[in-house]
Copies of this chain bind each other. A is one copy, B any other.
Amino acid sequence: MDFAYDAKTQELREKLLRFMDEHVYPAEQIAHRQLEEAEDPWARPPVIEDLKAEARRQGLWNLFLPDTDHGAGLTNLQYAPLAEITGRSPHLAPEALNCAAPDTGNMEVLAMFGTEQQKKQWLQPLLDGEIRSAFCMTEPDVASSDATNIATRIERDGDHYVINGRKWWSSGAMAPNCAIFIVMGKTDPDAERHRQQAMILVPRDTPGVHVKRGMHVFGYTDASHGGHAEIVFDNVRVPADNLIAGEGEGFAIAQARLGPGRIHHCMRLIGIAERALELMCRRAVSRVAFGQPIARQGVVQEWIAESRVRIEQARLLVLKTAWLMDTVGNKGAHTEIQAIKIATPLMAEWVLDKAIQAHGAGGVSQDFPLADLWAQARTLRLADGPDEVHRMSLAKRELKKYL
Contact = CB atoms under 8 A, between A and B. Distances in A.
Contact of A304 (B138, B220, B360, B395): B395
Interface string A377-403: 011011100111111101110110111
Contacts of A285: 399, 402-403
A140 B362 contact: yes
Given A3-B3, A143-B289, A216-B366, A383 B361 contact: yes
Given A282-B402, A313-B314, A395 B1 contact: no
Protomer copies: 4
A306 B339 CA distance: 8
A374 B216 CA distance: 14
A312 to B, nearest CB: 6
Nearest to A3: B1
A100 interface: no
A60 interface: no
Interface stretch (A83-91, A201-209, A294-302): A294-302
Contacts of A284: 399, 402
Given A4-B1, A143-B288, A320 B309 contact: no
A240 interface: no
Contact of A309 (B145, B381, B382, B394): B394
Interface in A1-54: 1-4
A194 to B, nearest CB: 15
11 contacts: A2-B3, A217-B219, A217-B364, A301-B392, A301-B395, A301-B399, A302-B395, A309-B339, A360-B382, A361-B379, A364-B375
Interface string A166-199: 0011000000000000000000000000000000
Contacts of A328: none
The DSSP consensus for interface residues of chain A is helix
**Chain A: number of interface residues, binned into ranges:** 35 or more
Given A289-B145, A313-B313, A313-B314, A305 B364 contact: no
A395 B387 CA distance: 21
A363 B140 CA distance: 12
A255 interface: no
A331 interface: no
Given A298-B297, A312-B339, A390 B143 contact: no
Interface of A: 1-4, 138, 140, 143-146, 168-169, 215-221, 277-278, 281-282, 284-285, 287-290, 294-295, 297-302, 304-306, 308-310, 312-314, 316-317, 320, 335-336, 339, 342-343, 356-357, 360-367, 371-372, 374-375, 378-379, 381-383, 386-392, 394-396, 398-399, 401-403
Contacts of A371: 216-219
B361 A169 contact: yes
A378 B282 CA distance: 22
A208 B378 CA distance: 41
A357 B372 contact: no
Contacts of A297: 298, 388
Most buried by B among A216, A316, A364: A364
Nearest to A282: B402
A391 B306 contact: yes
B304 A399 contact: yes
Given A282-B402, A287-B143, A316 B320 contact: yes
